[in-house]
Amino acid sequence: MARTLPGADWSIAAAMLQFPGTHDGVPVAELPSAVWRQQLEPVVEAGFSAVEIPTSWISIGDLPDPRVAELRAVLEDAGLEVPGISVVRRSVIHPERGEDNLALAHRTVDAAAALGVPIVCVGLHDELLDAQKQVTWFWTVPGAQRPTDPETYELAVRRYRELAEHASGVGIELSLELYEDTYLGSGKDGVRFLEDIGHPAVGLNPDVGNLVRQQRPIESWQETFALTLPHANYWHIKNYARLEDPSRDLVLTHPTSLELGIINYREMTQAAIAQGFNGAFVVEHYGGDGLSVGASNADYLRSILPARTTRETSETEK
């Protein structure tokens, strides 16, 4: 499809959504680095030169320093840049694990800095509920709902501000992921939450795929992007089909490719770049073979992105 590729110099990272955290019962983090290298080979073969490391694969904040060095060597050997670390489903306001999750986030910030990774992506969603694990698509049944008391909201603001201050001190940024039923559950809420944090080392991850897949009425994706793109510093990018029968209040969604879904990413990436976005894309895809769809999505992005402008400082990226 791609004919000319001015978009070739953007960082487009594979997601590792389909990669399990254990291998024959052993946590991946404890395996020899040769196995890490082997597990990354399909990412390389699929054509990627960048990958996001999620804590669900290897929690780099929990790795001893020598193993971080090993991971760095493996990534270099594979020719994979890491534009971001994602702290997956570890809410800093979880009623029981909130403090542990916050501590992990802090350790991850340090490890990211040690690994030379500029972004740590965090969010207020936590483990799926049992009911969500028992269905084909977890977003088709209700998940955990955000706390409505002002104290917890303030706690989230404070903890992220504190994390941002830490990140800023070691030269990296946070990106807050939009996610249903959290304080980041719409463009409007996300921007308000970001502004309440009010720290220059925090931006948004406009992962609008998380919102358009909800099988109920939603903020229009055009509106969500209009509100959030000015604040975007990192981008989990994915798309969905959305089938509706208004006469029955029925909405059904399904993961599809960036090109075939309802969001017009040609338009949204142009709008983002016009507003200064210069971050990395992470091509996520739920459903079958997420890595192959991700590779097709990367090809698609390269076919529509303009040439990337070099920026002097990361501050200008927001």
Chain positions contacting a second copy, by CB under 8 A: 1, 3-4, 18, 42, 45-47, 135-137, 140-141, 215, 239, 241-248, 250, 252-267, 287-293, 295-296, 299-300, 303-304
Task: Match 């972004």 to its residue by tokens.
Answer: 119
CA atoms in the 13 A half-sphere facing the CB of 185: 13
Instruction: Determine the Cα–Cα distance for residues 33 and 83; give it in Å rounded to an integer.
Output: 20
Instruction: Determine the Cα–Cα distance for residues 293 and 261; give it in Å rounded to an integer.
Output: 13
In the complex with a second copy, the residue whose CB is nearer, 292 or 316, is 292
Cβ 220 to a second copy, closest distance in Å?
A: 9
In the complex with a second copy, the residue whose CB is nearer, 147 or 287, is 287
In the complex with a second copy, the residue whose CB is nearer, 170 or 274, is 274
In the complex with a second copy, the residue whose CB is nearer, 170 or 243, is 243
Which amino acid makes up residue 159? Answer: R
Q: Nearest CA to 164 among 202, 125, 126, 135?
A: 202
Cβ 240 to a second copy, closest distance in Å?
A: 10
Instruction: Determine the Cα–Cα distance for residues 35 and 220; give it in Å rounded to an integer.
Output: 43
Read off the tokens for 77: 């050997």
Which amino acid makes up residue 41? Answer: E
Which amino acid makes up residue 233? Answer: N
Cβ 49 to a second copy, closest distance in Å?
A: 12
Cβ 8 to a second copy, closest distance in Å?
A: 14
Cβ 53 to a second copy, closest distance in Å?
A: 20
| Cβ-proximal residues to 91 (8 Å cutoff; 6+ apart), any chain | 97, 98, 101, 123, 124, 125, 126, 182
Cβ 113 to a second copy, closest distance in Å?
A: 33
Read off the tokens for 250: 């029925």
In the complex with a second copy, the residue whose CB is nearer, 49 or 168, is 49
Cβ 225 to a second copy, closest distance in Å?
A: 12
In the complex with a second copy, the residue whose CB is nearer, 19 or 160, is 19
In the complex with a second copy, the residue whose CB is nearer, 104 or 301, is 301
| Cβ-proximal residues to 236 (8 Å cutoff; 6+ apart), any chain | 15, 121, 177, 205, 207, 209, 210, 282, 284
Which amino acid makes up residue 228? Answer: T
Instruction: Determine the Cα–Cα distance for residues 120 and 55; give it in Å rounded to an integer.
Output: 11
Cβ 259 to a second copy, closest distance in Å?
A: 5
Instruction: Determine the Cα–Cα distance for residues 208 and 238; give it in Å rounded to an integer.
Output: 8
In the complex with a second copy, the residue whose CB is nearer, 33 or 215, is 215
Which amino acid makes up residue 118? Answer: P
